[in-house]
Structure 1
Amino acid sequence: MSPRLRWETLAHLARWSMLLPVAGLLLGALYFAYHALKEVLLALPLGLEAALPRMVGAVDLALLAAVFLLFGLGLFELFLRKLDLPLENVLAVESLSDLKEKLGQVVVMILVVKFFEKALVFKPQEALDFLLFAAGVALLALALWLTRK
Structure 2
Amino acid sequence: MQLIFDFRFLALLAIGGSLAGSLLCFLNGCVYIFDAYKVSCVKGIHTGKMVLRLVEAIDVYLAGTVMLIFAMGLYGLFISNVPPDVPPSMDRTLKGSSLFGMFALKERPQWMKISSLDELKTKVGHVIVMILLVKMFERSKMVTIVTGLDLLSYSVCIFLSSASLYILHNLHKNDTH
- Shared fold by TM > 0.5? yes
Paired-residue identity, %: 30
Per the TM alignment, residue 89 of structure 1 is displaced from its structure 2 partner at its CA by 1.1
Q: What's the counterpart of residue 12 of structure 2?
A: 19
Partners in 2 of 1:37 and 1:90 — Cα distance? Answer: 24
1:1-149 correspondence to structure 2 within 5 Å: 7=1, 9-47=2-40, 48-49=46-47, 50-81=49-80, 82=82, 83-84=93-94, 86=105, 87-148=108-169, 149=173
Gaps of 5+ in 1: 1-6
TM-score (norm 1): 0.90
| Segment of structure 1 superposing worse, 112-121 or 81-90 | 81-90
Report the RMSD for the aligned CA atoms in angstroms.
Answer: 1.3
| Segment of structure 1 superposing worse, 80-89 or 112-121 | 80-89
TM-score (norm 2): 0.76
Measured against aligned partners, the alpha-carbon deviations of 1:49-99 in whole angstroms (never above 9, x if no partner) come to 221000000000000000110111111111111443534212111001111
Letter in 2 for 1:23: G
Count of aligned residue pairs for this structure pair: 142
Per the TM alignment, residue 147 of structure 1 is displaced from its structure 2 partner at its CA by 1.1
Per the TM alignment, residue 112 of structure 1 is displaced from its structure 2 partner at its CA by 0.8
Partners in 1 of 2:61 and 2:139 — Cα distance? Answer: 18
Measured against aligned partners, the alpha-carbon deviations of 1:30-54 in whole angstroms (never above 9, x if no partner) come to 0000000111011113234221000
